[in-house]
């Protein structure tokens, strides 16, 4: 059974982010306005989809959406304003670039910074409930993954192609062995305390 379209008049933009809990790379957000006729039985929260399914959904969403935008906020800005504010900034930036002004913004999660002149609703686990948020989650995830695979070629020692910057044991062991790259978030605790004491 597929997800639902949020019941409200006008253009509804779903927005979501990816990479909030990563040690390296940007936080990436997408905003998507889908047409009223859009249906897809596979589309759901990107975290519940395989990489293959996300790759199949990406061009479908891009082709079908009335408008969409994907924006990165990079590690230096994350360190400057903190990850929560950087997530809000990424979502605002993606909303800024939509070619159609939405009448309502649906946000995945329970917190959001007010977007000028447009009402919003925060929906916990919204990426598993509403199509527009799920579509935004897929785009945010696929675009961010592609970026991490690109910078993996520059710093293959961290294996970002596999871990996408998340705090896996392998990633943290590489940080312990080689230190931080320019792409790491310096405001994050990169290593557990016991490993920090060992270096």
The DSSP H or E segment spanning 91 is helix 83-96
Among residues 132, 149, 166, the one where a domain terminates is: 149
CA-based nearest residue to 102, from 6, 4, 36, 31: 31
The reported pTM is 0.93
101 shares its domain with 143:
yes
Cβ neighbour number for residue 31 with a 10 Å cutoff: 34
| Same domain as 174, residue 88 | no
What CA–CA distance (Å, rounded) separates 167 from 161?
13
Asked if 166 and 76 sit in the same domain, the reply is no
Q: How confident is the model at residue 2 (pLDDT cuts 50, 70, 90)?
A: low
Location of structure tokens 């710093």: 155
- Is residue 4, in this structure, part of any structural domain at all? no
Contacts by 73-76 with C-beta closer than 8 Å and gap 24+?
A: 73/26, 73/27, 73/28, 73/29, 74/25, 74/26, 75/24, 75/25, 75/26, 75/183, 75/184, 75/185, 75/186
The model's pLDDT over 39-75, given as tens digits with 9 standing for 90+, comes to: 999 999 999 999 999 999 999 999 999 999 999 999 9
> Between 7 and 199, whose confidence is greater?
7
Question: Residue 98: which CATH number?
Answer: 3.30.420.10
Contact (Cβ atoms closer than 8 angstroms) between residue 188 and residue 23: yes
pLDDT band, very low/low/confident/very high, at 164 (cuts 50, 70, 90): very high
Residue-range definition of the domain harbouring residue 182: 156-197
Q: Say whether both 116 and 168 belong to one domain.
A: no
Q: Examine the domain organization and report whether 184 and 142 are in the same domain.
A: no
176/139 same-domain check: no
Q: How far apart are CA 135 and CA 189, in angstroms?
A: 31
Domain count along the chain: 2
């Amino acid at each position: 059974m597929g997800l639902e379209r949020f019941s409200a008049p006008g253009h509804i933009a779903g927005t979501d982010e990816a990479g909030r809990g990563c040690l390296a790379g940007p936080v990436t957000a997408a905003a998507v306005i889908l047409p009223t006729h859009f249906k897809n039985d596979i589309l759901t929260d990107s975290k519940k989809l395989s990489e293959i399914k996300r790759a199949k959904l990406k061009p479908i969403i891009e082709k079908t959406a009335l408008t969409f935008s994907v924006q990165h906020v990079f590690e230096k800005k994350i360190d400057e304003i903190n990850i929560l504010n950087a997530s809000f900034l990424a979502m605002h930036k993606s909303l800024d670039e939509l070619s159609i002004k939405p009448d309502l913004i649906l946000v995945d999660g329970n917190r959001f910074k007010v977007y000028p002149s447009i009402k919003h609703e925060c929906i916990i686990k919204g990426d598993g409930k509403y199509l527009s948020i799920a579509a935004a989650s897929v785009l945010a995830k696929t675009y961010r993954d592609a970026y991490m695979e690109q910078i993996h070629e520059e710093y293959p020692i961290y294996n970002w192609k596999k871990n996408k910057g998340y705090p896996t044991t392998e990633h943290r062991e590489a940080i312990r062995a080689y230190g931080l790259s320019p792409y790491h978030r310096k405001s994050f605790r990169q290593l557990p305390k016991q490993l920090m004491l060992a270096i």
